[in-house]
Chains A and B, each alone.
Chain A
Amino acid sequence: MKKLGLFYLAVRNIRRKLFRTVSIMMSVAVVAGTLFSATMVIYSVKRSIAVGTERLGADILVVPADAETKARGVLVSGEPSTFYMDRSVLDKVKAVEGVAQVSPQVFIESSSFSCCYVGNAMLVGFDPQTDFSVKSWLADFSIKEFGPDDIIAGRGIPTMVGRTLKFYGHDFNVVGVLAQTGMTFLDSSAFIRMDAAYRMAEESAKKAVKPITVTPDQISAVLVKVAPDYTPQRVAVKINYAVDGVKSIPSDEVIATVKDQLSKLLTYLLTIGGIVWVMALLLIAVVFSMIVNERQREIGLFRAMGAKKGFMFKLLVTEAALLTTAGGVVGVALGGIMVFSFKNLITTQLKVPYLWPSTAFIVELLAGCILVSLVTGVLAVLYPAALSARMEPYNAIRKGE
């Protein structure tokens, strides 16, 4: 038979009172679950914004002044929307100090495809001559020339390379499908050449059930890249000052908007998590103080049989560590199930983009939450464990009688 060891005794002790064991585990599970799910949601939203804005490739988005809210809605929550301004804005923006590159885009709302898919999608027309955003993705698909009837679809549109997508009676060849960003604006959009967009609009009167009215002198947004020595915020202010009727939105501000939306939730979650953590810490400390009190005679007996003070200390710490680690595992499992199951509800309620973190991050987060649980148990039990170790064997035996 294997020698009786500290770990074995700790495991056996845990089994003594099932209700108490489950209560401690669940209190830690709530802490670990809250920590895991809150971090997952926050990180996923941040990642989505980071990936999305990087994909956007622009430092500033210039939109009609009266469409600022709509434009932010498009970027943050991907609500399809159309707004137009005069093309002359492009040259005015280009002339502003600190502007290095400009490229126009036109947004066309599409709520119905010719077959198979009905959903809220955006058609984004870009100018191949000046574009610095979409072009960078073309390299990913080994596309040298983006043809007039070519289209790149966001991950949210159910199609694949080689297929055809019909918009307003016009057929487009799918030459690429983008990786998921979590930003609905990018995932539910399809990108076509600007001239194709205008042609499609023109033909829609004859081909489509619901025609669209956008003309070549209209654009929806100007994507701006700022010069190396300028900050997007500074250039945005300059554009707002120099060009009438427009509003410049720096990409960073989009992140700030989402951060604002998240901050309330974050504060709420952190407060709840903090309260639960302190309560769990106190609960464990109180329960283990009770355990020490209950087991006084046993502690005295162990010491009489030769157990050292360190053994008694480690025995209680091991018990707490095992319990809280198990609680942590249960917590992250429940938290994970919640986050994965209610992802759509979370994004709808918060109106934020969402992109799952990488597997490595999830693994690190899992380990981190379980570690927090373990540390919680160890911290909470330090005093009772020290109390147990300090007991004089004879007194412990007598008091426990």
Chain B
Amino acid sequence: MIDIAGLTKTYMDGDQKITAVDNVTLSVAQGEFVSIIGHSGSGKTTLLSLAGGLTKPDSGRVVIDQTDIWSLPDDALSEFRNKNVNFIFQFASLVPTLTVFENVMLPSAFGSCCEGLDEYAKSLIEMVGLADKMKSYPSRLSGGQQRRVAIARAFVNSPKVILADEPTGDLDEATEAEILDIFRKKNADGVTFLIVTHNQSLASAARKRYAMTGGILKEL
């Protein structure tokens, strides 16, 4: 499903050249749940962004569902993301002027909308336990609730791949467990997960685990 080969990304910090991702090769099969653990600054978020087509690598390639994503023109890459990949970031990043329901529906604004999507969005909101908050604005929600809305949003375009960056960061244990439960359900439905975290309990939920240090990836 995801084939990463020889992926390298460097950036300049003043005069110093930093290698954020160093010749990483990784293969994730369809329906797999993979976690990458590492400290802050180890390059795991950069790797996730390279894998999701958010930043261009210096070298190497990323193939998702048989598409070499970095060979696509920018518009085609955007379209590919809209249809196949979605992200969960460490921050909820909801649009403050949209309701919970509208925030969940947001990906539909950037691509073709399918029949019955609003019903599906509602079911996702119910799934994350916010059925009574459909019309609420983000400012009325707690941090945990906002995170759950972001998770519901990540699934609305029925992506084949979820790339999650610290999806349970700053959340209490109960909420973390609920979110993990949602991930398991979706994983059981066939969604491929690639999660980067420094949270051991979240990482251990994955069937395949990697560690990242100084931009280098190693399987655990």
Contact = CB atoms under 8 A, between A and B. Distances in A.
A305 B86 CA distance: 6
B23 interface: no
A303 B106 contact: no
B81 A392 contact: no
Contacts of B89: 301, 397
B75 interface: yes
Given A1-B105, A1-B118, A304 B54 contact: yes
Interface residues of B, number: 35
A311 interface: yes
B78 A12 contact: no
Contacts of B78: 303, 306-309
Contact of B82 (A9, A305, A309): A305
B49 A306 contact: no
Interface in B141-179: 153, 157
B54 A310 contact: no
Contact of B55 (A3, A305, A395): A395
B41 interface: no
Contacts of A393: 49, 54-55
B54 A303 contact: yes
A395 B101 CA distance: 28
B97 A12 contact: yes
A6 interface: yes
Residue of A12, A307, A311, A394 contacting most chain B CB atoms (<10 Å): A394
Contact of A5 (B81, B91, B107, B109): B109
Given A1-B118, A397-B54, A301 B107 contact: no
Contact of B109 (A3, A297, A298, A397): A3
Given A4-B102, A16-B96, A303-B54, A309 B110 contact: no
A401 interface: yes
Residue of A5, A8, A12, A15 contacting most chain B CB atoms (<10 Å): A12
B70 interface: no
Interface in A284-333: 297-298, 300-311
B54 A306 contact: no
A152 B95 CA distance: 71
Contacts, number: 87
A304 B91 contact: no
Contacts of B101: 1
Contacts of A304: 52, 54, 81, 87
Nearest to B103: A4
Interface string A375-401: 000000000000000001111010001
B95 A12 contact: yes
A393 B48 CA distance: 12
Given A12-B98, A297-B91, A304-B87, A4 B79 contact: no
B54 A4 contact: no
Residue of A301, A302, A305, A309 contacting most chain B CB atoms (<10 Å): A305
A13 interface: yes
A308 B52 CA distance: 15
Nearest to A389: B74
B70 to A, nearest CB: 13
Nearest to B117: A3
Contacts of B98: 4, 9, 12
Contacts of A308: 74-75, 78-79, 110
B93 interface: yes
B184 interface: no
B103 to A, nearest CB: 10
A304 B54 CA distance: 7
19 contacts: A5-B109, A9-B98, A12-B98, A297-B93, A302-B110, A304-B87, A305-B81, A305-B107, A305-B110, A305-B153, A305-B157, A306-B83, A306-B107, A307-B109, A307-B110, A309-B75, A309-B78, A393-B49, A394-B54
Given A307-B110, A309-B78, A394-B55, 16 more contacts: A1-B101, A1-B118, A8-B109, A9-B109, A13-B97, A304-B52, A305-B82, A305-B86, A305-B106, A306-B79, A306-B82, A307-B78, A307-B109, A392-B54, A392-B55, A395-B55
